[in-house]
Amino acid sequence: MKTLFINPCLRHLCPIKLLPVGIASIMTYVRSRGYEFDFLDIDINDYTDDYVEAFIKNNEYDVILYGTLVTHYKWIKWLTRTIKKYHPKTQIVVGNSVAGSCYEVFLKNTQADVVVIGEGEVTCAAVLDALRENKNLKDIQGIAFRDENGRITRTPKREAADLSDFPMIEWDFFDISKYMEKCDPSLFGQQNNGKSDKPVFSMPVVTARGCAFRCTFCHFVFWDDPYRYRSPDQILIEVKRNMEKYGASGISFWDDLSFASLPQVEKFVDAVLESGLKFQWSAAIRTDLFGHPRNSYKKRLEVAKKMKDSGCICVGYSLESANEKILEMMNKKVTTEYFEEQIKLLDEVGIISFTAVVFGYPLETRETIQETFDMCLKNRVYPSIGFLLPLPYTEMYEYAKEHGFIIDEDAYLEAITERQDICLNMTEMPDKVIMEEIQKGAKKVNALLDIGFDESSFIKTAGKQYRTDRQTQKTSQGLDPDNIKRNESDVSFNYSEAVFNLGSRNSD
């Protein structure tokens, strides 16, 4: 059975490229089950749509598998349509949020054959087994497909796997040298500190899956699964392999939430210190991990110091909003008091804080925008700025449908770009007013911290300029399927364009 995996390109011609852990993990697992396949990496090569179409036309496969974020829905529809145009018998399997979070809409509006819902490794292998042996798909858990009568059918959910059952991700599928050239470790706060002429090469390692919390704007593939994390020993075996085999000197723990509790992070950093491994690392943590008084200040400080000693350069966690009512609507379950406490403690030990904010909840006003920027000013942090983007399978998506903001789901999903664009405004303010208030707030923080952004860089937003009137129309007609093009957008952190004095963020 001739099989192809495709890694789509989310951000065409973006100077920074990141190794994709999702498809890499699935390909690794599928290979461990005895399957051989070809791989088309559109992302690192920045292949044009014409190149992709020519490749598809000239190469026929029995099965093609791919997936990406739902913000790339429009292009994935084009890809699916193009494959079926030249090879109507090819079986198409699509995963990740682009299809799994909205399987009914996706299958109604594309010719894809199978949608993988949730965790993909075991399910993709099971689908390949069924297609190879010509078995009925109804017996496979965790998918949606059309039955013999053309009706969309969803099978029962597949139980989450034990992460220790998965093999270590193989990166030999990818052109590591190209990813090394386009790696920007400063995106994760990493630097060589003048210790070597060799550039820092940061590689992703998964420590956990999912999140222990359920914010109303957020979606991740493992939403219906419990939060799970790997043992420190497993993680460090992979870190050591990446350092020795691929030359990684930095590690980005690429998770929705790397560390949810203090005992969890302490157990990990103790293992790093005992191992003797020397590497810089970054991770995603709970917004109040080092700020909540459930643990004494002395204990929190002790663990944070060990994090620093183990190589932690920076951690990311989200403020989202400084307004308590908006935080409540987000189901954020955190207070700004703990956020501030965490920043102070991490500053004390020298770990950089990267934070993000979301503007555009229905309760948002000029005053709440200013409130959030006042919090950033007070704590001397420049946030990654984004707008509420209602995504399928979230409470805010249902809110948008119930209140008439989303009428045609297919048209809406084709029109969205990234969180840096106002794709759907559910506030009582015009887009222009929201942008003006954000520009004012960002300008103040930029000046206070002397970061060096110009006004065009306050919000990373490349998507807007590529959107056409037809893309943003509210219409029940949908878009012209013969005219689907790539949505160009850039979700890079603002930090990638800044030069920080990493040791003096609190200096005047």
- Mean of the pLDDT values across residues 3-11? 94
Instruction: Tell me what percent of the residues of the chain surpass a pLDDT of 90.
Output: 78
State the average pLDDT over residues 118-127. Answer: 98
Q: What are phi and psi of 386, to 5 degrees?
A: -145, 170
The pairing of strands 250-253 and 280-284 is parallel
Going by the DSSP 8-state scheme, the letter that residue 369 receives in this structure is H
Average the pLDDT over 270-292 and give the result. 96
Q: Which pLDDT belongs to residue 191?
A: 67
* Residues 128 and 73 placed together within one structural domain of the fold: yes
**97, 230: one domain:** no
Asked if pLDDT for residue 413 goes beyond 70, the answer is yes
Spatial distance between the Cα atoms of 346 and 193, rounded to a whole number of angstroms: 20
> What's the token pair of residue 375?
């919090």
- When pLDDT is averaged across residues 133-158 and rounded to a whole number, the result is 96
CA distance 217 to 444: 27
- pLDDT value of residue 194: 53
Average of per-residue pLDDT across 395-404? 97
Q: Quick check: is 318 in a domain?
A: no
> The domain spanning residue 73 has which CATH number?
3.40.50.280
Pairing of strands 228-229, 208-209: antiparallel
Kindly state whether residues 214 and 292 are assigned to the same domain.
yes
Find the CATH number of the domain harbouring 189. Answer: 3.30.750.210
Give me the pLDDT at residue 195, please. 56
- How many domains does the structure of the chain reveal? 3
Confidence at residue 497, expressed as pLDDT on a 0 to 100 scale:
31
Query: How much is the mean pLDDT over the chain?
Result: 88
CA nearest 131: which of 149, 117, 113?
113
Least confident interval from 68-72, 201-205, 480-484: 480-484
Would you say residue 186 has pLDDT above 80?
no
- In eight-state DSSP terms, residue 497 is G
pLDDT above 60 for 87: yes
Confidence at residue 501, expressed as pLDDT on a 0 to 100 scale: 29
Average pLDDT over residues 341-359: 95
Give pLDDT, residue 219.
Answer: 86
Q: At 188, is the pLDDT very low, low, confident or very high (cuts 50, 70, 90)?
A: low
192 and 281 assigned to the same domain: yes
The number of helix segments (H) and strand segments (E) in the chain equals 18, 16
Q: Is the domain of 188 the same as that of 138? A: no
pLDDT at 351 over 50: yes
Q: Encoding tokens for residue 20?
A: 């994709």
Final residue in a domain of this structure, among 129, 152, 175: 152
The model's pTM is 0.89
What's the chain's Rg over C-alpha atoms?
23
Which residue, chain included where needed, has tokens 């420590």? 207
Residue 201: the pLDDT is 87
Owning domain of residue 267: 183-312
Alpha-carbon span 18 to 310, nearest angstrom: 24
Contact partners, residue 88, CB within 8 Å, separation at least 6: none
HEC letters along 18-30? CCCHHHHHHHHHH
Per-residue pLDDT, 116: 98
CB distance 229 to 268 below 8 Å: no
Residue 4 burial (C-beta neighbours within 10 Å; 0-12, 13-18, 19+): buried
Cα–Cα distances in Å, from 468 out to 69, 249, 430, 431, 432? 21, 42, 19, 17, 18
Whether 393 and 498 share a structural domain: yes
| Contact partners, residue 399, CB within 8 Å, separation at least 6 | 216, 362, 390, 426
Same domain, 225 and 361: no
% the chain with pLDDT above 70: 87
Task: Write down the residue that tokens 């493992």 correspond to.
Answer: 222
